[in-house]
Amino acid sequence: MLSNELIESLNVKQRSIINSSSHHKVIKAGAGTGKTRMLIAMAISLVMSIIRTISRHDKPILLLAYSNKAATEIKERLSKVTDINQQDIVVKTFHGFCWNIINSSPFFNRYKNFTIIKEDECIKLLTPIINKMPKHSKVKPKKLIKIIVLAGNTNRKINLILKDEYPELLDIEDHIMKLIKAYKAEMKKNQVISFEDIFRVVGRKINNNVDALNWVVDKYSAILIDEAQDTNAAQWNIIEPIAKRLPITVVGDPAQAIYGFRGAESDSLNKALKILPNAEVFKLKENYRSTPQNVAFTNSIFAVTDYKPRLKSMNFDGQKPQVKSFLNEEHEADFVVYSIVDLQMDGHPLNDIFVITRTNEDARYIAEKLKKQWLPVTLATNDDVLTTKCFLDIIAALTVASGQHKKFLMNRYFQLFKGVGIITAQNISECVIRGGYNRVINHMPNRDSISCAVDILRNVSGYKYAQEAIINLTRLMDAYFFDKYANKWDDNKISILEWASTIEPKMTVDNFIEGIMLDGAVNQKTSSNAISVVTAHGSKGLQAKTCFLLNVSPEVYPLMFPKRVTNIEEERRVFYTAATRAEKNLVITSRLFTKKKHHFKTEPNRSLCFINDIKTSLYDS
Work out how close the CB of 77 gets to ligand ADP at its nearest, in angstroms, rounded to a whole number.
Answer: 9
Picked from ligand ADP, Mg ion, none, the partner binding residue 37 (CB below 5 to 8 A depending on kind) is ligand ADP
- Greatest CA separation found in the chain? 79
> What kind and span of H or E run contains 251?
strand 248-252
Picked from Mg ion, ligand ADP, none, the partner binding residue 247 (CB below 5 to 8 A depending on kind) is none
Task: Please say which residue, 72 or 495, places its beta carbon nearer to ligand ADP.
Answer: 72
Q: What is the residue-wise DSSP string for 407-432? A: HHHHHHHHTTSTT--HHHHHHHHHHH
Verify binding: residue 194, Mg ion, rule CB under 5 A: no
Work out how close the CB of 19 gets to ligand ADP at its nearest, in angstroms, rounded to a whole number.
Answer: 14
Work out how close the CB of 580 gets to Mg ion at its nearest, in angstroms, rounded to a whole number.
Answer: 10
Work out how close the CB of 226 gets to Mg ion at its nearest, in angstroms, rounded to a whole number.
Answer: 6
What letters, b where the CB count within 10 A reaches 16 and e where it falls short, cover 295-319? bbbbbbbbeeeeeebebebbbeebe
Picked from ligand ADP, Mg ion, none, the partner binding residue 11 (CB below 5 to 8 A depending on kind) is ligand ADP
Task: Please say which residue, 10 or 272, places its beta carbon nearer to ligand ADP.
Answer: 10
Task: Please say which residue, 256 or 502, places its beta carbon nearer to ligand ADP.
Answer: 256
d(CA 428, CA 436) in angstroms, rounded, equals: 10
Verify binding: residue 538, Mg ion, rule CB under 5 A: no
Task: Please say which residue, 35 or 493, places its beta carbon nearer to ligand ADP.
Answer: 35
What are phi and psi for residue 13, nearest 5 degrees?
-65, -45
Verify binding: residue 313, Mg ion, rule CB under 5 A: no
For residue 289, which of 312, 260, 321 has the smallest C-alpha distance? 312
Picked from Mg ion, ligand ADP, none, the partner binding residue 33 (CB below 5 to 8 A depending on kind) is ligand ADP
Sign of CA dihedral 315, 319, 323, 327: negative
The window from 1-9, 50-58, 93-101, 535-543 that contacts Mg ion (CB under 5 A) reads: 535-543
Verify binding: residue 539, Mg ion, rule CB under 5 A: no
- 617 CB neighbour count, 10 Å cutoff: 9
d(CA 4, CA 41) in angstroms, rounded, equals: 9
d(CA 579, CA 300) in angstroms, rounded, equals: 11
Work out how close the CB of 10 gets to ligand ADP at its nearest, in angstroms, rounded to a whole number.
Answer: 5
Verify binding: residue 241, Mg ion, rule CB under 5 A: no
Task: Please say which residue, 94 or 512, places its beta carbon nearer to ligand ADP.
Answer: 94
Work out how close the CB of 497 gets to ligand ADP at its nearest, in angstroms, rounded to a whole number.
Answer: 35
Contact 595, 283 (CB under 8 A): no
Picked from ligand ADP, Mg ion, none, the partner binding residue 86 (CB below 5 to 8 A depending on kind) is none
Work out how close the CB of 320 gets to ligand ADP at its nearest, in angstroms, rounded to a whole number.
Answer: 20
Helices (H) and strands (E) in the chain, counts: 26, 16
Work out how close the CB of 39 gets to ligand ADP at its nearest, in angstroms, rounded to a whole number.
Answer: 8
The window from 27-35, 53-61, 77-85, 110-118 that contacts Mg ion (CB under 5 A) reads: 27-35
Task: Please say which residue, 76 or 368, places its beta carbon nearer to Mg ion.
Answer: 76
- In the region spanning residues 584 to 603, those forming contacts with Mg ion, defined by CB under 5 A, are none
d(CA 326, CA 331) in angstroms, rounded, equals: 6
Task: Please say which residue, 28 or 200, places its beta carbon nearer to ligand ADP.
Answer: 28
DSSP state of 257: -
Work out how close the CB of 463 gets to ligand ADP at its nearest, in angstroms, rounded to a whole number.
Answer: 36
Picked from Mg ion, ligand ADP, none, the partner binding residue 546 (CB below 5 to 8 A depending on kind) is none
Work out how close the CB of 221 gets to ligand ADP at its nearest, in angstroms, rounded to a whole number.
Answer: 23
- In the region spanning residues 350 to 369, those forming contacts with Mg ion, defined by CB under 5 A, are none
The window from 28-36, 119-127, 162-170, 203-211 that contacts Mg ion (CB under 5 A) reads: 28-36
DSSP state of 149: H
Contact 195, 116 (CB under 8 A): yes
Q: Is 113 helix (H, G, I), strand (E, B) or coil?
A: coil
Work out how close the CB of 254 gets to ligand ADP at its nearest, in angstroms, rounded to a whole number.
Answer: 13
The residues of the shown chain that bind ligand ADP, judged by CB under 6 A, are 9-11, 14, 29, 31-37, 288-289
Residues 6+ apart with CB under 8 A from 468: 505
List 264's β-bridge partners, or say none: 232
Verify binding: residue 252, Mg ion, rule CB under 5 A: no
Task: Please say which residue, 37 or 320, places its beta carbon nearer to ligand ADP.
Answer: 37
Work out how close the CB of 588 gets to ligand ADP at its nearest, in angstroms, rounded to a whole number.
Answer: 20
Give the C-alpha distances (Å, rounded to integers) separating 234 from 255, 532, 563, 580: 21, 31, 25, 28
The residue at minimum Cβ distance from Mg ion is: 36
Task: Please say which residue, 126 or 225, places its beta carbon nearer to Mg ion.
Answer: 225
Picked from Mg ion, ligand ADP, none, the partner binding residue 14 (CB below 5 to 8 A depending on kind) is ligand ADP
d(CA 402, CA 173) in angstroms, rounded, equals: 43
The residue at minimum Cβ distance from ligand ADP is: 34
Task: Please say which residue, 12 or 345, places its beta carbon nearer to ligand ADP.
Answer: 12
Burial class (CB in 10 A: 0-12, 13-18, 19+), 508: middle
What letters, b where the CB count within 10 A reaches 16 and e where it falls short, cover 38-69? bbbbbbbbbbeebbeeeeeeebbbbbbbbbbb
Work out how close the CB of 309 gets to ligand ADP at its nearest, in angstroms, rounded to a whole number.
Answer: 12
- Amino acid found at 257: A
Q: Which of 203, 541, 554, 558 binds Mg ion (CB under 5 A)?
A: 541
Give the C-alpha distances (Å, rounded to integers) separating 278 from 26, 329, 482: 10, 52, 62
Verify binding: residue 36, Mg ion, rule CB under 5 A: yes
d(CA 79, CA 471) in angstroms, rounded, equals: 30
Query: Residues in contact with Mg ion, total (CB under 5 A)?
Result: 3
Parallel, antiparallel, or unpaired for β 192-194 and 286-287? unpaired
Task: Please say which residue, 147 or 311, places its beta carbon nearer to ligand ADP.
Answer: 311
Question: C-alpha angle 460/405/415, rounded to 5°?
Answer: 70
Work out how close the CB of 512 gets to Mg ion at its nearest, in angstroms, rounded to a whole number.
Answer: 26
Task: Please say which residue, 67 or 429, places its beta carbon nearer to Mg ion.
Answer: 67
Residues that bind Mg ion (CB under 5 A): 35-36, 541
